[in-house]
Homo-oligomer: A and B are copies of this chain.
């Protein structure tokens, strides 16, 4: 957190709220209700969590506008969850980054074009004819292949690798050791061996996409693999060749999407979700963690299970599986009773 912090008034402005208490109170950090100290602000998103507030040592609290009294100074706002995100941003120390210019240890091809204010940190490699948009930051040890284009204000962390001829939009963030543009996984079995199918396409990453550490997006067999605008990808996620995701999707850690599948807008894949190849997921589909999707899902559906089915069906089936031992007993009991009835009937 910053050394001097901000006043309640400054934080209220950041959060879009109003102060209740001393506007000049100085706050240096954000912490949970239980862990906050006198220099921290905490938050309560709903009246039902209010019980934990009296025992908190927090210096201030961010509350919903209609919240009652509080034992410490407060900021009242419409949406505390959004407000605390804004307060975190206001209090966050600046992320260390290399200064604009090219570090002397970086290896930049003379034909590469760097926009105004670009910062290329130590030991980066930028290939021939690459283009880096204004103010984009390559922290260190980043690789940008030949002919690849990055938009303005991107931020690439150490170890990120983008192979040749790919295109990234503006404000794209690649976390450490991300791989963009590696070959798709395509072979033709000749009867004796797997012959490689050249992967001649590219990857396009649209504006405001963020891709987590060690995640991989393969280049297309031909044409492009595309990550839609505003989509956020967590760590260790696999996106295979020719996949297209819509805008504003969420792919949680260790999810994987096989070749040529298409995600609509706002699709959410929980952690470890698998999507098989050539599947189409409609807008707003939500897939529960650990499920595996093997066929098309229509827009708005929530799915779960392996293979994934509608979530209500999944829950019903799970409940039945839970009851199987009981049924097993009932079934055996019924068999005995029917046998007895049959014996009596025969008499």
A residues neighboring B (CB under 8 Å): 1, 29-32, 35, 81-82, 85, 88-89, 91-93, 95-96, 103, 105, 107, 121-123, 125, 127-128, 139-141, 143, 145-147, 157-159, 161, 163-164, 173, 175-177, 179, 182-183, 185-188, 190, 193-198, 200, 208, 210, 212-214, 216, 218, 221-223, 230, 232, 234-236, 238, 240, 248, 250, 252-254, 256, 258, 271-272, 274, 276, 289-290, 292, 294, 306-307, 316-318, 320-325, 327-328, 330-331, 334-335, 337-338, 341-342, 344-345
Contact = CB atoms under 8 A, between A and B. Distances in A.
Contact of A341 (B185, B328, B342): B342
Sorted nearest first, the 8 A-B pairs with minimum C-beta distance are: A320-B324, A96-B146, A179-B213, A107-B122, A161-B176, A290-B292, A143-B158, A182-B213
A106 to B, nearest CB: 9
A177 B180 CA distance: 11
B320 A197 contact: no
A143 B146 contact: no
A159 B188 contact: no
A279 to B, nearest CB: 11
A30 B222 contact: yes
A253 B256 contact: yes
A212 B32 CA distance: 31
Q: How many copies does the complex hold?
A: 3
Given A232-B185, A341-B341, A316 B325 contact: yes
A1 B200 contact: yes
Contacts of A103: 107
A157 B230 CA distance: 28
Given A161-B177, A194-B230, A274 B271 contact: yes
B161 A158 contact: yes
Contact of A185 (B88, B234, B272, B344): B234
Tell me which of A173, A185, A342 has the highest count of chain B C-beta atoms within 10 A of its own C-beta: A185
Contacts of A218: 213, 235
A94 to B, nearest CB: 10
Nearest to A145: B96
B176 A179 contact: yes
A89 B139 CA distance: 35
Contacts of A183: 173, 175, 210, 212
